């Protein structure tokens, strides 16, 4: 989820890779190169939306971000599951 890239106590910062917020099993799965690449791409697109709408990163609209990522060809797991507000 996008919220794992947004630190709770620091504004105007996004994190990706090993420093994201996750429990132990989740953290172990996110260290893979594909996951790190996807998180970096999501953080980059979120930064663009944050600047475009003059919002802090934590206020970026998740659905708009996910639509943007899908348009860029990112795999959000849409083939395996429904993404609320995006696929259905």
- pLDDT value of position 45: 97
The C-alpha atoms of residue 40 and residue 70 are separated, in whole angstroms, by: 15
In the DSSP assignment, the letter for residue 10 is: -
Residues 6+ apart with CB under 8 A from 80: none
Cβ neighbours of 42 (radius 10 Å): 22
- What would the pLDDT profile of 59-73 be if each residue is shown by its tens digit? 999 999 999 999 999
pLDDT value at 31 more than 80:
no
């Amino acid at each position: 989820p996008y919220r794992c890239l947004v630190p709770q106590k620091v504004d105007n910062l996004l994190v990706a890779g090993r420093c994201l917020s996750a429990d132990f099993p989740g953290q172990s799965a996110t260290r893979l190169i594909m996951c790190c690449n996807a998180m970096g791409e999501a953080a980059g697109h979120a930064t663009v939306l944050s600047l475009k709408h003059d919002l802090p990163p934590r206020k970026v609209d998740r659905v708009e971000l996910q639509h943007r990522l899908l348009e860029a060809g990112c795999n959000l797991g849409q083939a395996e599951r429904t993404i609320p507000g995006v696929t259905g």
